[in-house]
Amino acid sequence: MDQGYLNHIFGLRDRVVVVTGGGGVLGGAMARGVARAGARVVVVGRTLASLQAVVDDIVAAGGEALAVQADVLDRILLERALATVLERFGSVDGLINAAGGNRPEATTSPSQPFFDLPSDAIAQVFDLNWMGTLLPIQVFGRAMAHCGEGAIINVASVNAFRPLTNVLAYSAAKSAVKNLTEWLAVHLAQNYAPGIRVNAIAPGFFLTAQNEYLLIDDATGGATVRGEQIIAHTPMGRYGKPDELISTVIWLLSPGASFISGVTVLVDGGYCAFGGV
């Protein structure tokens, strides 16, 4: 095996990668993963303690990382975060937009019909997922435009391909993230630099703190009806593991994906390929 060749194609050594939502389950896994591939990682999020825990893991494994506290919906804080990154590392080579999530208040249920969903809850979910992707791209992407290259990875969802029941705002927002990915891939390449690539990953079902209320029955600790349906419609018969996102992320960030832009890659155990029969 030619290890040098693999490093040349997929290695991220010394590249500076910013991960928003880096203190979460999926964002943290991606941050640790790209650090192991050689990147210098900046984890960005609202809760400093969770960010620092990811940084500590990366440093303990021999990597280099920095925690920067910022809200992805606050442009001023993001601009300050960018200044911190440039002061410490001098550039931004990659951006992973892993911040996002849903809210029970924006989810339909027998006790909360569609007609009664509060508009403020819907707006909050849409803002977190869509605006929380757009604003970091505007801030950190500008640094990429200045140097003429970079790789941006957004986090969409399987419901950008197949709308899911109950999660109205989340489905709409993640669909918008997929569309934003395609639009920006064209716009940034044509108007700024063809070396700036924008892609997305679309995770299937991964258990996180944000979706546990939909998938795990509080009373029994077993699967909800929805959880059972998900497993039944996932050909691989299980939920994904956070580390199973890493290889796709490394590939999309790496030189090996230099001619790939505007795509959304499913990581879903075959969910979207299954018609139910």
CA angle 60, 92, 90 (to 5 degrees): 85
**Measured between alpha carbons, how far is 155 from 167 in angstroms, rounded to an integer?**
17
The full length of the chain comes to: 277
**170, 192, 239, 271: the active-site residue:** 170
- The residue among 204, 226, 190, 222 whose CA lies nearest residue 272 is 204
* Cβ–Cβ < 8 Å for 255, 191: no
In this structure, what token pair is assigned to residue 175?
């669909």
DSSP state of 18: E
Are 15 and 36 in contact by the 8 Å Cβ rule? The answer is no
- Of the candidates 105, 135, 132, 136, the one whose C-alpha atom is nearest the C-alpha of residue 121 is 105
Positive or negative torsion for Cα 189, 192, 197, 198: negative
Whole-angstrom distance, CA of residue 110 vs CA of residue 188: 44
Give catalytic status of residue 170 as yes or no: yes
Show the tokens assigned to 213.
């209320």
- Whether the CB-CB separation of 227 and 212 falls below 8 Å is answered with no
Give the Cβ contact number of residue 103 at 10 Å: 17
Instruction: Give the C-alpha separation, 253 to 260, whole Å.
Output: 10
Catalytic residues: 170
